[in-house]
Structure 1
Amino acid sequence: MLLSERIKRFSNYLNNCFCLVGQTEMHILKGIGNYIMKNKLFKGAIAALAMAGVFAIAQPQGHAMINGTEAYLTGMEYHDAPIYQQKVVSKHITVGYQETKNHKLIRHANLVFNRVSQTRHAHNRGNAVEEFNIRMMRNGKAYVTKPSAATGYGNPAYYVISKGHAKIINGVKVGWSNADNLYFKWSDNMVTLATKSTNATKDTAVKYNGKVLSDNKLQVNNSTSLSHANWRTLVVKEAKSLKGGRYVYNGHTLSAGTDCAGFTELAYLLAGKQDIGSTTSSQHSRMRHISLHSVKPADLVWRHGHVGMYIGHGQVLQDLIGGVHYSAYYPSQWSTALRVK
């Protein structure tokens, strides 16, 4: 396509923005479009940017890296009901690919390998072009999600890759090796995750082009080593970190906001404990009912249509209009208390 044709299309795009901006802003955008069409300097700048883009992706060098750092992912999952709901996971494994040209990063993708029994779709973070979430199944399948896969409620949120098969997703080949290990291949580089052992407490070798990486331990969720008492401290700590925020009905994420049940669910997920459900009714049915006079930190207090978290010292954290805030605990204000089974 000729450069002049591209500029015309860009100008037409600006002229069609009336559905997004007011009338005054529309005149401004039209003026910008006309100025670009007439100004040779801008034409030259656009041409230079186009040429730079082509040059940057030519003959890139690729390399891979792995880390076990903490990050937060928003996600879509088919869960408990015929709707997609957002989830968050705390600890995960990231195999990151970078392509560089003249020591400058030109492309970056993350492959996220979770040892959690939920399928999540990860949004791009930082300069990531794509981010893939991998879920290994005991039935010999891998669930792979990618940003463009979950674009709406009616679209599939993941791909299923059975043993012995592979699939290319946006240039990244994901599949199973002859040794039943999950592998990723991109830019002629191969990363293999040894997946025969489903024991999350064991180290799992990660190989890059046949060589074990220096950091070859897949870090697992801290909840596997938490004592019976310490997990409560961690859940309460995560709950306190969510103080304030934004109340959004049926919200379940850090970025978009939470409602009362979304807040309590998020605290448990961030602590790596378990998924207690995303609604007041699901938490009421999943958790064990206890006396309101026997509550411990991290237990939930429930009444019809609302839930909060007891954090000790006679206080409750709950998410209402205005965000998560502290309240005094009065058993008479609640119907029952809930504890994880």
Structure 2
Amino acid sequence: MTQPLTETVNTEISDTIEDCIETMPTSGDIVMEYASQYEGNRYVYGGTDLENGIDCSGFVMRIYEQFGYDLPHSSSALRSVGEEVDADDMQPGDIICYAGHVALYAGDGEMLHASNSKPYPKGGIKYSDVEYGKIITVRRIV
């Protein structure tokens, strides 16, 4: 006996939706894809402009703002946003908090951050190893 047409269509739609969900990037991946377009832009202490100059907490704040989150412009205040996760369980988009610095975990042991490294042009929004310093906490927003 064959299935009624509506049952067949519903099953096919359900299977298609499940396939799409399985292949969609995670929310953190989407955050990092968006954030990566600013690589190379300049660092400005206290800055909040992704195009013309930004500091580390401003970078995290502005990136998450694009996804509807209102985060503080303070590296120490960012230590308490979202939920804490173990550094061994970091996922792309997680906020890595160091003493006086924050960054976004990009995956594969790398972070994307607004750095004031000198001599210039080494500073600015760039990828670095997460072993930058002692991690105080890792926060997950998405």
TM-score by length of 1: 0.31
Quickly say closer, same or farther: Cα 1:331–1:324, change in 2 above 3 A.
closer
Give distance in 2, aligned partners of 1:266 and 1:310.
Answer: 15
Contact map agreement 1:231 1:273 (CA 8 A) in 2: no
Residue ranges of structure 1 left out of the alignment (5+ in a row): 1-227
Unpaired runs of 5+ residues, structure 2, are 1-23, 117-122
For residues 188-237 of structure 1, the C-alpha deviation after alignment (integer angstroms, 9 at most, x for no partner) is xxxxxxxxxxxxxxxxxxxxxxxxxxxxxxxxxxxxxxxx9632122101
Note if 1:245 corresponds to 2:25: no
Deviation at residue 278 of structure 1 after TM alignment? 1.6
Identical columns (%): 29
SS at match of 2:89: coil
Tell me, in whole angstroms, the C-alpha distance in 2 between the residues paired with 1:281 and 1:316: 18
**2:106 counterpart of 1:311:** yes
How far off its partner does 1:261 sit? 0.6
Instruction: Give the structure with the larger strand fraction.
Output: 1
The 4+ residue runs of structure 1 with deviation greater than 6 A are none
Residues 303 and 335 of structure 1 are in contact (CA less than 8 Å); yes or no, is this contact kept in structure 2?
yes
Deviation sequence 1:3-45 (CA, Å, 0-9, x none): xxxxxxxxxxxxxxxxxxxxxxxxxxxxxxxxxxxxxxxxxxx
Structure 1 SS opposite 2:61: helix
Q: How does 1:95-244 map to 2 (within 5 A)?
A: 230-244=26-40
Query: Where does residue 299 of structure 1 map in the other structure?
Result: 94
| Higher RCO (C-alpha 8 Å, min separation 6) | 2
In the alignment, residue 235 of structure 1 is paired with which amino acid? V
| Residue aligned with 1:293, SS | helix
User: Contact 2:78/2:97 (CA < 8 Å) preserved in 1?
Assistant: no
- For residues 94-117 of structure 1, what are the alpha-carbon distances to aligned partners after superposition, in whole Å with 9 as ceiling and x for unaligned? xxxxxxxxxxxxxxxxxxxxxxxx
Indicate if the aligned counterparts of 2:109 and 2:130 stay in contact, CA closer than 8 A.
yes
Does the CA-based 8 Å contact 1:276-1:286 persist in structure 2? yes
Distance 2:132 2:56 in 1: 18
Matched residue count: 115
Partners in 2 of 1:333 and 1:304 — Cα distance?
A: 8
TM (normalized to structure 2)? 0.70
Aligned to 2:120: none
Q: CA deviation at 1:289?
A: 1.9
Give, in whole Å, the separation in 2 of the partners of 1:235 and 1:332. 23
Larger Rg: 1
